[in-house]
Structure formats: C-alpha cells, structure tokens
Chain A
C-alpha cells in the first residue's frame, strides 16, 4: 500500500502543477474521489463489473516451459485475459463509473498503444457516455486495430499532430480539451501520471492485480514471490502489481523501462535511468529532458511505453530504493515476445514483452519464484510483429 499526503505528494514527487483553468476540475475531483470510490454502493457496482464483465480474477499461470527454460519458477499474471486485452480496463471502468457518480456528461482520454483508449471507449459504451479519445498520429498508424475498435465502440478518435505525435502529445491535447469544457467533461487518465489525485486513484484501481497475486500464490502454497516484474510506461500496471508487496522487503520489485534503441542513443524512453526531476502533465517526477527543461521526444517500439515521464509514485519508490529499475531495448523486447509465444503459446503485448525481457537480466536463484505481470495481449501489435518477423 502507498498513499500520497493530502496535497498529493509522495515525498517530493507528485503534487498538482496545473494552470488555473484546470483548478476547479481537479479540486472537485480531489474532494470527491475517496468519498465516492470507497463507498459501499460504488464498490458493489465496481466489483461486480470487475468480476462478470472484465473477467476477474485473472489467472496466475505457472509458465512451466518458460520456468524450465530459465531454471526458476515463473508465474504470469494474466492481465492479457482481461476483457479488451490489457489491465487498462480495471482503471477505465473505475473512472468512468466515478464520472457518472459525479454527474459528468462526457468522457475524454488520451491513449498510446490504444489499450487505454479501447478500455475507456468500452466503459463508455457500457455505461452510456459520449467518448472522445486523443491519440498521437504516429500511434494511430502503428496501432490500427485499436483505432478500429474504438471507432466501432462509438468513440471519436482525434489525432494529436503536435510534437512527437505520440502519447505525450495526445495527453497535451486531452488536457487542452478538458480546459475548454471543465464543467461537463471528465478526463480519464490512463496511467499513474497527471495531477493529484490521478496517480493515487489509478493506483487504487490497479491494486487489484497484486491483491489477487497475493491470494493466488497463497492458494498455491507460496507465501510471497521473490520478484515481481512489470513494464513501466506511466507505471499503472507496475504499481498495480507491486502495491500489496511494497511493505514486504523480501519481494524485490522490478520496473522495466523501454530503452528503445538503447540508453546511449537519443531514441529511448528510459525515464528513470536517464531522467531528471521536473514537471510534466501536472506532477513532479523524473523526466527525460534537456538542461533547459524542454521535454525530449521519447522513442520505443511499443506505443504504450513511448512516454518521457513516469508516475510520481515510481520516482518516489526508486529514490527510496524500494524498486529497482531496469531497461530493455526494442530488440530485447521483440526477442522476449517471440520466446514467450513459442514456449507458452501466448502472444504478449510489446509493452509486456519488456517485462519478460528482464528474465535474462536478473540474478535469481533456482528456488526463487518470480511473478511477471503480463499486462496485455499482442493482437494490437501484429502489424509490428509482422514487419519485424517478416511474416507473409
């Protein structure tokens, strides 16, 4: 468990650095979110959607072939089996439901890989809310399938054509849209980023992942895992997988960033490895930026990790030395994706493949047990896989 102080800070990280135009929206949310999401009524509805609509609990699968290959016990937390194909739906349903409780009439969201966009469009179809998704032009190109899904679900998909035309720019456009309709619009942020209370709220919604892992391991006769490994874009699947292990020092928590073409190149998204403290999208955290404070355009083959920042919780846990941060290159992720596919018959999302790539980097012992959060499935990445592996 980890919660911010009442101003939304985790140590020095987090906070709410927002222009006045957003003050009232954010303040309203700060005042209401805990009251609503901890209420019995909300929880009853939310939990029943998680169970019967999302398909929770997701399995904790002992990947025997993978385990044999690496000589260690590997469990996969199967978030890829969630309805819509990734962990993002845990948060999207929670927030769209919250928006309903708050009397909001319209939903907007940003998306990188399109998984958060699809999850939000899905929750909006289910809960009957109009929905607009902002997505970088480059991501619209590389995650075509998800664009089609969002459209079929009834969402308007608006291309973000500024800057690097990826997740950062989609987030800028979503915030600008929010500024212009503060009263009626609810902004569903897709990761543990943004101004307080978003990081806390999204972490709470995703914490179901580690809650289940804990119970499932115990049912299988294990007290705790030695490692929990997850990829980090903004960090929502990672904090979800870490949440209930944070206070158990025996479990090592490993966050895997996207190194892109390598941390010594300019084409990278390894935020903590290369970043400095700064402010983007309303919170203080590590960012990859110039000495002058201009945010760099990141690069990763996976659209969901192609972001120059990271959630303030992770910056805090990193400084506390509670999490360890590794990075995996585009190439290492692709190899790990193919390996899982051939060994276990599971095609992972490119984001999740970064977590899998960490298996080659960790000095585990034979008797260790490792949980990898398989945050999503690879359907959306078939374009990229097809190009890289040259399938006809």
Chain B
C-alpha cells in the first residue's frame, strides 16, 4: 500500500485535498506551497502540471496554466523541483493532460513519478486502452495509483469498468462542467447517491466547484472528501505565497 491508500484506510471521511498549478504564481513556488499545505494539515495534495490547451478547465485554471508556462514551468522542471523536496507524509498526486507526458515519454514520466514521491496520477484525457497498454503494468510495479473521473453522464457499464481500473480513488466530477463553476448539490443528489451504490467500497473524492465550508461539507456527505482547485488558486492570485496565506484558506474551509 502506498501513502494514499493508507490514508483512505486511516481516515475515510472529510478528506480535504488542494489542487494547485505548478509554477504559479511564481516559478519557484511549487516546493514551498507543498510544504505550507502539509503544515496546514491538508490530507493530500494535487499538483497540476501546465498545458497550453486545458480543455476541461475554466477561466481560473486556464489562467494559472498560462501563467505557469509563461513563468517557464515544464514537466521536467517540475520533477527537478520535486527532487529537492524532503520526504513528506502527505500523499502527492500529479495531474495533467496527456500531451506533455507523451513528449517526455511515458516510461520516463512514470519513472520520474516513482522517484519523486508521487502516489497517484490523474490524466483527464487518457483513454482506457492507452492506460491498459502503456501505463497500467508499470504503475502497479512502481506502486503508483490510478485515478479516473466520473461525471453525471458516465454510463453504468463504464462505471463498472472504472471501478475495476481504479487503484486510488474515483474522482467524482460534480456536474457536467469545466472547473471553477458552482455546484448545485440539489440537482446532483440522485447522481451522487447512485455513485455511493455503484462504487461502493471504492474511495470517492468530489471535485469541480467546491469552494467554501458549505460545499465542502455537503460533498463530504456523499463521498470520502473533496478537492478544491479554482477557489484556492483565486486565493493565491496577486499574492506572495506564505504559510499564513495558505493556512487562512484551509481554516476558512474546515472552520
């Protein structure tokens, strides 16, 4: 079991995860941000590596991707930064689109993950056949977890497939939506309840549109926890990052 799987065993409820874009607001903010998030008792951390064309993302994350690329962030630089991170107990997840990974080469990418404390990866545009062909075996050798997305329009037989492929958690997308939109739990109640049944026994984390104590708590009623991305990145905007800045945000969510 890796750190992420242990976390789900130890603490099955109210997990809070924070997503941020590597290289934003400043190129060298990646490592300090990880350390501040650890100190703020976030349960696990998702590091996004930037892509020029983030199809599933709304304006906030589009802007952080753009800024990070302008700042000079690349996937190989991110691994270089991560190699300077002292061992941490908080699970780390890497998230990003497939193209930068293809350019690095899939074996090299997975090797780099295994050398840099990465416990799971999320690639929103990775098809199952590619996962099976090029990722699955090596990931299990390196003990890196797989995470797949489900949405309100994911058909039932596909849910089953996702359940089978998942070794980390299922990323429950709160709505048919890009990142950074508001979520209407009333509208999604049936979808979320249905997932509790269909994906019983599989850790579930809700993301997209979680931004305040209310949406976080509500999400936790339907899943093991939630991921906050856009709201956190908006909080960082125009600021010099500091432990206080990060702690303020986490406290404002956990209350």
Contacts and interface: CB of A to CB of B under 8 A. Distances in A.
Nearest to A292: B74
Contacts of A20: 124, 148-151, 154, 173
> Among the interface residues B53, B76, B124, B181, which one has the most CB atoms of the partner chain A within 10 A?
B53
B103 interface: yes
B55 interface: yes
Q: How would you classify the secondary structure of chain A's contact residues: helix, strand, loop or mixed?
A: mixed
Interface in B38-54: 50-53
Given A7-B129, A276-B103, A277-B102, A19 B56 contact: yes
Interface in B90-126: 97-104, 124-126
A293 B76 CA distance: 11
Interface residues of A, number: 37
Contact of B176 (A168, A182, A276, A277): A182
Nearest to A27: B155
A181 B58 CA distance: 14
B99 A168 contact: no
Contacts of A48: none
Contacts of A176: 55-56, 58, 178
Contact of A182 (B51, B130, B153): B153
B95 to A, nearest CB: 12
Contacts of B99: 278-280, 287, 289, 293, 295
B177 interface: yes
Contacts of B253: none
Contacts of B155: 24, 27
Interface stretch (A10-18, A137-145, A326-334): A10-18
Interface residues of B, number: 40
B177 A292 contact: no
B127 interface: yes
Contacts of A293: 51, 75, 99-104
Closest 3 CB pairs of A and B: A293-B100, A293-B103, A20-B149
B62 interface: yes
A172 interface: yes
B10 interface: no
Given A293-B100, A293-B102, A181 B125 contact: no
Interface in A346-385: none
A21 interface: yes
Nearest to B63: A162
Contacts of B66: 162-163
Interface string A258-301: 00000000000000000011111110000101011111000000
Interface of B: 50-53, 55-56, 58, 62, 66, 69, 74-76, 97-104, 124-127, 129-130, 148-151, 153-155, 158, 173, 176-178, 181
A179 B56 contact: yes
B177 A179 contact: yes
Interface in A4-34: 7, 15-21, 23-25, 27
A17 B130 CA distance: 9
22 contacts: A16-B127, A17-B98, A18-B55, A21-B56, A21-B173, A168-B53, A176-B58, A179-B55, A179-B56, A179-B177, A182-B176, A183-B176, A277-B102, A279-B125, A281-B53, A287-B99, A289-B103, A292-B74, A293-B100, A293-B101, A294-B74, A295-B52
Contacts of A287: 99
Nearest to B78: A292
A175 interface: yes
B53 A172 contact: yes
Interface of A: 7, 15-21, 23-25, 27, 162-163, 168, 172, 175-176, 179-183, 276-282, 287, 289, 291-295
Given A180-B178, A293-B75, A279 B56 contact: no
B175 to A, nearest CB: 8
Given A21-B173, A180-B177, A279 B52 contact: no
A27 B158 CA distance: 11
Contact of B103 (A21, A23, A172, A278): A278
Nearest to B76: A292
Contacts of B148: 20
Contacts of B181: 180
A175 B58 CA distance: 11
Contacts of B125: 17-19, 279, 282
A184 to B, nearest CB: 11
Contacts of A18: 55, 125, 127
Contacts of A15: 127, 130
Contacts of A291: 74, 103
A21 B151 contact: yes
B141 to A, nearest CB: 24
Contacts of A279: 97-99, 102, 125
A19 B154 contact: no
Contacts of B56: 19, 21, 176, 179
Contact of B53 (A25, A163, A292): A163
> Among the interface residues B74, B155, B176, which one has the most CB atoms of the partner chain A within 10 A?
B176
Contacts of B69: 294
A181 B53 contact: no
Given A279-B99, A292-B100, A21 B177 contact: yes
Given A24-B155, A279-B97, 17 more contacts: A15-B130, A20-B124, A20-B149, A23-B151, A24-B154, A162-B62, A176-B58, A179-B56, A180-B177, A181-B176, A182-B153, A183-B176, A276-B103, A279-B102, A280-B53, A280-B99, A289-B99
